[in-house]
A and B are shown apart, each in its own frame.
Chain A
Amino acid sequence: MRRAWAPSWLLALMTLVLVLSFMGSLALGEVRVPPSEVLAVLMGRGEGLARTVVLDFRLPRALVGMAVGAGLAASGVLMQSFFRNPLASPGLLGVSTGGALGAVTALALGWASNSVFALPAASIAGAFLATFAVMALAKREASAEHLLLAGVALNALFGAATSFILNLTAGQFEVTGQIVFWMLGGLENRTWAHVWMVLPGTIVGCLMLLPYGRALNLLSLGEQGAQSLGVNVRRLQWEIIALSTILTALATAVGGVIGFVGLVVPHILRLGFGPDHRRLLPLSMLGGAAFILACDLITRFLPGELRLGVVTALLGGPFFLWMLRRPS
């Protein structure tokens, strides 16, 4: 009870899972690089094809994937606590599609080629638009049905807007290709530029979140109760909504719409290790990163170059349906 963080063995275990999936994503693929050689390259040795494959292709891809997974899972935990609803998550509430719409707009208007910050900035703007819309449509403590219906409407609306932009850019093949990339979500061709776009912000955001565990525990059992026990609820809510939106937007800016991560990862960890946010937050960050890396590995081995967003949806969709059927 007195511990502020998760028990160390649990964190160590989750870190081990993450390290294994990280090594896997550096070693496995069309070109196999033995783990010993991966380590050599990471140490600054190694040469030839292995070095190029690991350093120029797989390492940035893995780092982007980890940032995306950690950010989305943490964002899911925050939204579930904010809305007091285990079904809330950036994908279902339309925040991811809002971010994607922002990114796609920046691409279509050519802003993205002017500055590396244009894309994440537009994505953050789109995600905030979605967050405020969902907050206005489904007031806090609204029923789960209300919240999810608001998300359905927003997802449809932003999806339609994105398709509209896609139509407008027909003929500009490069732009169209990038837009489709954002709509399906993936980690292909991620470069070091993407790493710098997402990783520092995600690390800072996640570190800022860790001390919120206790307050989130109180908030998730009711905001008036939390305030009566000494939490400045209004400030806390603004802070977590801002952080969760920014984390989702950063993830979307580099990976497109990758659904169900913020829903599935916190939910499984909550089932296994309880709802205490002091534990759940760090575990979800590590677990989300590992989950994305594992799903990305699946895309490399399934035929037809399946997209990452498709894999997470294929795994997460049935899980979500199972959650809906379960008596609470």
Chain B
Amino acid sequence: MIRAENITLGTRLLDVSLHLPKGSLTAVVGPNGAGKSTLLLVLAGLLKAQGSIAWMGEDLNHITFPERGRRLAWVGQDLSAEFAFPVREVVAQGRHAFGDDGAFVAGAMQAMDIAHLADRAVTRLSGGERRRTFLARALATDAKIQLWDEPTANLDVRHGLDVLQLAAKLRDEGRAVLISLHDLRAALCFDQVLVLDRGRLAASGKPDAVLNADLIQRVFGVKAHMGQEMILELP
């Protein structure tokens, strides 16, 4: 679905190549400042970098803006909102490139558990509610590629699990989902893990192969004890 080769952007990203196949769920992990958000911006076409990027086999530079909006949805970390748009209208913005307002909006609000906030102004939401609103806007696009930058930050346990479960569902529908995360334990449930370290791709592959104690020590500088853990799951 999305293929990037030799992506370099100053010292923020150094020669990163990756492939997100159809029906895949990929996590990007790495310390603060490793370049996770930058990578997502570049892949989403929101930040120019050297190297080549193709969405669905087509060079990104040849895809028009509205078509980009239909193919890929991106959710950033900036949750600021200065103007009091009702939640429903924000979610409906996901349909901008399609020119309709109705489709998928109600479903997206349901999935993010914000249907009860539909008429509330975004300026009056908590951080977590606002993040769910912007995630719902991305869902409403029905895009085949979904890039979410730390979607579980400021979410409570329940809604954090909701988001991860939803990501797995989107993967099962044949989409490519890329999520940046700080929770290494959550990353263990993904199909593929990319580990970024100071702009470089330190490792990538199946999570149980990649996220070993050795790599975690090297990249994050912490000792990882595998084994005993508390497992949380949705009822």
Contact = CB atoms under 8 A, between A and B. Distances in A.
Given A1-B92, A217-B93, A228 B83 contact: no
Given A228-B46, A229-B69, A230-B70, A86 B94 contact: no
Nearest to A232: B65
A221 B73 contact: no
Nearest to B83: A275
Contacts of B72: 228
Interface residues of A, number: 25
Interface in A255-271: 270
A226 to B, nearest CB: 8
Interface of A: 1-2, 84-86, 214-215, 217-218, 220-222, 224-225, 227-232, 270, 274-276, 328
Contacts of A1: 88-89, 92, 101-102
Nearest to B122: A221
B69 A228 contact: yes
B82 A217 contact: no
A2 B80 CA distance: 26
A270 to B, nearest CB: 7
A232 to B, nearest CB: 4
Task: Name the residue among A85, A218, A225, A270 with the largest chain B CB count within 10 angstroms.
Answer: A225
Say whether chain A's binding surface is mostly helix, strand, loop, or mixed.
loop
B137 to A, nearest CB: 8
25 contacts: A2-B100, A84-B82, A86-B82, A86-B83, A217-B93, A221-B83, A221-B90, A221-B122, A224-B46, A224-B78, A225-B74, A225-B76, A225-B78, A227-B65, A228-B46, A228-B68, A228-B69, A228-B73, A228-B74, A229-B94, A230-B68, A230-B97, A232-B65, A275-B83, A276-B89
B82 A230 contact: no
A2 B46 CA distance: 28
Nearest to B90: A221
A261 to B, nearest CB: 19
Contacts of B205: none
Contacts of B44: 228
B9 to A, nearest CB: 15
B86 interface: yes
Contact of B46 (A220, A221, A227): A227
Nearest to B86: A274
A195 B81 CA distance: 39
B93 A229 contact: yes
B83 A225 contact: no
B33 interface: no
B96 A214 contact: yes
Task: Name the residue among A214, A221, A232, A275 with the largest chain B CB count within 10 angstroms.
Answer: A221
A84 to B, nearest CB: 5
Interface in B27-62: 41, 44-46
Interface band, chain B:
35 or more
Given A224-B46, A276-B85, A230 B90 contact: no
Contacts of B94: 229
Contacts of B88: 1
A222 B83 contact: no
Contacts of A328: 82, 123
Nearest to B69: A230
Contacts of B76: 222, 224-225
Contact of B65 (A84, A220, A230): A230
Contact of B74 (A86, A220, A224, A270): A224
A328 B80 CA distance: 12
Given A84-B80, A225-B134, A230-B68, 14 more contacts: A1-B92, A1-B102, A215-B96, A218-B96, A221-B122, A224-B76, A227-B46, A228-B72, A229-B93, A229-B96, A230-B96, A230-B97, A270-B83, A275-B85
B157 interface: no
Contacts of B26: none
A236 to B, nearest CB: 10
Nearest to A81: B83
Contacts of A84: 80, 82-83
B141 interface: yes
A275 B89 CA distance: 10
A220 B93 contact: no
A167 B37 CA distance: 55
B84 interface: yes
A61 B89 CA distance: 40
B39 to A, nearest CB: 14
Nearest to A222: B78
B66 interface: yes
A232 B94 CA distance: 15
Contacts of B68: 228, 230
A291 to B, nearest CB: 21
A292 B122 CA distance: 32
Given A214-B96, A228-B44, A220 B69 contact: no
Contacts of A2: 100-102
Nearest to B123: A328
A86 B83 CA distance: 8
B73 to A, nearest CB: 7
